[in-house]
Amino acid sequence: MVGINSEQDGNYWRIGAMTTWQDLLETELPGCFDGLKAAARQVGGRQIQNCATIAGNLCNASPAADGVPPLLTLNARVVLQTQTRKRELPLSKFILGNRRTALEAGELLTDILIPKKLGQGRAGFLKLGAREYLVISVVMVAGLLFLDEHGKVRHAHISVGACSETAVSLSELEAELLGRRFSPNLVRSDHFQHLSAIDDHRGTAVYRLDAALTLTRRLLSELTA
């Protein structure tokens, strides 16, 4: 259950439930994992990264879980098992709300599956917190882009965390980017209207949404530079 295996199953990379953030960082993986790796470097400090698991980050179901946005952009699926039963769910259907998951009594999350066809996409992750290091996210954005030979967007997966109970994909923006060369003004505030950010001690809803817009523009600019 430790490590990332690409051989067992031809169509997926399989992240075992006991795989830590540090295990992920030490594994050679294609470009589509760069966003998840960037998140791994920012989960807590080194002590946390050495012992905390990616699966635990999902099962914890915190709105500020740094692993969720990049795994959503990777179309991750989770494998849930009891002693007698096994099922699979898309990550988007696994995390149901703040600290709520689809785990049933007796179930463990045993694997996270990432489709191999995503391979060489360009991926990234940006996190805003109250300070640089060892900090819970106020907002985070993950992106995975595929560009054609002219630099136009072929596919885009963009997900925002800490601005709703669960991380949310920016589906309208993803659709509008298709066939275009990226420019920051293509990202508008109405692309974030379906988020339900809250006011709390880390930031107001207005600040969060404004920061999400800025981080999304910045991340996509970096990925298309």
Ligand X SMILES: Cc1cc2nc3c(=O)[nH]c(=O)nc-3n(C[C@H](O)[C@H](O)[C@H](O)COP(=O)(O)OP(=O)(O)OC[C@H]3O[C@@H](n4cnc5c(N)ncnc54)[C@H](O)[C@@H]3O)c2cc1C
Site for ligand X, rule CB under 6 A: 17, 43-44, 48, 52-53, 55-57, 59-60, 65-66, 103, 108-109, 136
CB of 223 to ligand X, least distance (A): 22
Q: Nearer to ligand X by C-beta: 67 or 143? A: 67
Number of residue whose CB is nearest ligand X:
56
Q: Nearer to ligand X by C-beta: 57 or 164? A: 57
CB of 45 to ligand X, least distance (A): 7
CB of 164 to ligand X, least distance (A): 15
CB of 168 to ligand X, least distance (A): 16
Alpha carbon distance 172, 210 (integer Å): 18
Q: Nearer to ligand X by C-beta: 59 or 144? A: 59
Alpha carbon distance 38, 24 (integer Å): 10
Q: Nearer to ligand X by C-beta: 25 or 147? A: 25
Structural tokens at position 79: 């494998």
